Amino acid sequence: MFSNLTGIEILYFFVALLISMIAHEVMHGVTAKALGDPTAADMGRLTLNPLKHIDLMTTIVLPLALVLVHLPPIMAAKPVPFNPNRVKFGDYGAALVGAAGPATNFALAIIGSILAHIVINGNPQLLEFLGLFIQINVILMVFNLIPIPPLDGSRVLYAFAPEPLRRVMEKIESMGFMAILLIILIVFEFMSNQIIGIENAVLRVVINL
Q: Angle, nearest 10°, between helix axes 124-144 and 90-118?
A: 160
Quick one: which of 53, 68, 41 has its CA closest to 17? 53
Checking if the pLDDT of 202 tops 90, the result is: yes
- Mean pLDDT confidence for 68-91: 80
Instruction: In whole angstroms, give the CA distance from residue 91 to residue 85.
Output: 8
User: Which tens digit of pLDDT belongs to each residue from 56-76?
Assistant: 777 777 777 766 766 656 667
Residue-wise pLDDT tens digits, 176-194: 766 666 766 777 777 778 8
The length of the chain, given as a count of residues: 209
Nearest to 24 by CA among 98, 82, 87, 89: 98
Can you give the pLDDT at residue 86?
Answer: 93
Q: Is the confidence at residue 3, as pLDDT, over 60?
A: no
Domain ranges of the chain: 8-207
The string of pLDDT tens digits covering residues 27-57 is 999 999 999 999 999 999 999 888 888 887 7
pLDDT > 90? residue 87: yes
Q: How confident is the model at residue 164 (pLDDT cuts 50, 70, 90)?
A: very high
Averaged pLDDT, 94-121: 92
